[in-house]
């Protein structure tokens, strides 16, 4: 396994691979790898000749007062996990490598962002598409892998690739969960014992809302209200939002007549957790 920090080194290695006709799978991360990341790596490993993992905590996607400085980092653990799971190249750039000077061209996302997490994080997805555009150009992958835990990010990446005719296939991968249903996340370590016991109720509530659709309910407002009431009875965390939108367009709808996402975000004392389920108009799971 190669571990490289400089862009020119990465370019040289990838040129050798492409010259040999080898396909490249790319898994962009911010590190502190958990089983969700490992699932992405394994999927990439199955479908490509070479796998690149990037580890970069992108400052452009953190707003004022967010957890950039305290975001969990463990490079030694990440390198070991990458090697054990067959990664061919770990790209570990610094801020100076990725942003050697102020950008002359700024990217702004105008759709799929004024809802869910994007509503309370202005500029977040501008930072996401900026770093991904740079990473896609550096790594030149055939396929790129993202977890559906952050379904809004997947929707935004889908738009980025389509809008700019990027020659890369987006592969969404289902959320990896703990045995009790909690979506795996680097931030879960910040939950207190009591919060950890309550947190699986987020997914329970979303599945309750989905079952209402399976039983014939089609009113968006009814499903949201019922899901929120269910969740309030299960946790003392503060609900940030529960939303039901078309997917991947993330547009407001009045009734369930197309694929949708039912998503939630909950504040606990030291962490904000997100989760979702994507299903069709009859309630059958597409991504859970």
Asked if residue 180 belongs to a domain, the reply is: no
User: What's the mean pLDDT in 69-77?
Assistant: 89
> Looking at the structure, do residues 233 and 280 belong to the same domain, yes or no?
yes
What is the span of the domain harbouring residue 147? 2-173
Residues whose CB is less than 8 angstroms from the CB of residue 180 and which lie 6 or more positions away in sequence, other chains included: 200
| Annotated catalytic residue, options 37, 124, 281, 284 | 37
Token pair 């750039």 in the structure block, residue = 93
- Higher local confidence (pLDDT), 119 or 18: 18
Domain boundary among the residues 148, 173, 198 is at 173
Quote the percentage of the chain above a pLDDT of 90: 91
- Rounded to whole angstroms, what are the CA distances from 94 to 4, 6, 54, 122? 11, 9, 11, 24
> Looking at the structure, do residues 214 and 138 belong to the same domain, yes or no?
no
Of the candidates 133, 174, 129, 144, the residue with the CA atom closest to the CA atom of residue 53: 144
Binding residues: 30-37, 61, 147-150, 153, 176, 184-187
> Total domain count for the chain?
2
Asked if residue 181 belongs to a domain, the reply is: no
Residue 71, pLDDT > 90, answer: no
Residue 121 binned pLDDT confidence (cut-offs 50, 70, 90):
confident
Asked if residue 223 belongs to a domain, the reply is: yes
pLDDT digits (tens, 9 = 90+) for 124-155: 999 999 999 999 999 999 999 999 999 999 99
Alpha-carbon distance of 14 to 86, in angstroms, equals: 17
Residue 65, pLDDT > 80, answer: no
Binding residues for (R)-pantoate: 61, 153
Asked if residue 83 belongs to a domain, the reply is: yes
Domain boundary among the residues 115, 146, 173 is at 173
Residue 70, pLDDT > 90, answer: no
- Higher local confidence (pLDDT), 34 or 51: 51
pLDDT digits (tens, 9 = 90+) for 15-29: 999 999 999 999 999
> Looking at the structure, do residues 147 and 43 belong to the same domain, yes or no?
yes
CATH number (domain holding residue 162): 3.40.50.620
- Rounded to two decimals, the pTM is 0.91
> Looking at the structure, do residues 147 and 263 belong to the same domain, yes or no?
no
> Looking at the structure, do residues 198 and 82 belong to the same domain, yes or no?
no
37 in active site? yes
pLDDT digits (tens, 9 = 90+) for 169-196: 999 999 999 999 999 887 888 999 999 9
> Looking at the structure, do residues 137 and 197 belong to the same domain, yes or no?
no
Asked if residue 275 belongs to a domain, the reply is: yes
């Amino acid at each position: 396994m190669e571990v490289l920090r400089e862009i020119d080194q990465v370019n040289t290695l990838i040129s050798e691979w492409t010259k040999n006709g080898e396909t490249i799978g790319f898994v962009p991360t911010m590190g502190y790898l958990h089983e969700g990341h490992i699932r992405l790596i394994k999927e990439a490993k199955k479908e490509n000749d070479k796998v690149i993992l990037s580890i970069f905590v992108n400052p452009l996607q953190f707003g004022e007062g967010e957890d950039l400085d305290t975001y969990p980092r463990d490079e030694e653990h990440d390198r070991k996990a990458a090697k054990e799971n067959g990664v061919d190249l770990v790209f570990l750039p610094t801020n100076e490598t990725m942003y050697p000077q102020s950008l002359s061209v700024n990217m702004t996302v105008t759709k799929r962002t004024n809802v869910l997490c994007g509503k309370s994080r202005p500029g977040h997805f501008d930072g996401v598409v900026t770093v991904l555009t740079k990473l896609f150009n550096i790594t030149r992958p055939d396929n790129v892998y993202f977890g559906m835990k952050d379904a809004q990010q997947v929707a935004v990446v889908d738009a980025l690739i389509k809008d700019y005719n990027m020659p890369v296939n987006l592969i969404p991968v289902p959320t990896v969960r703990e045995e009790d249903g909690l979506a795996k996340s680097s931030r879960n370590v910040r939950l207190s014992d009591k919060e950890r016991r309550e947190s699986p109720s987020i997914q329970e509530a979303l599945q309750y809302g989905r079952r209402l659709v399976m039983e014939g309910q089609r009113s968006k407002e009814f499903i949201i209200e019922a899901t929120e009431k269910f969740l309030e009875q299960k946790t003392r965390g503060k609900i940030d939002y529960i939303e039901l939108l078309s997917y991947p367009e993330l547009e407001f709808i009045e009734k369930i007549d197309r694929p949708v996402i039912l998503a939630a975000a909950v504040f606990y004392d030291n962490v904000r957790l997100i989760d979702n389920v994507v299903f069709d108009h009859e309630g059958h799971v597409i991504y859970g």
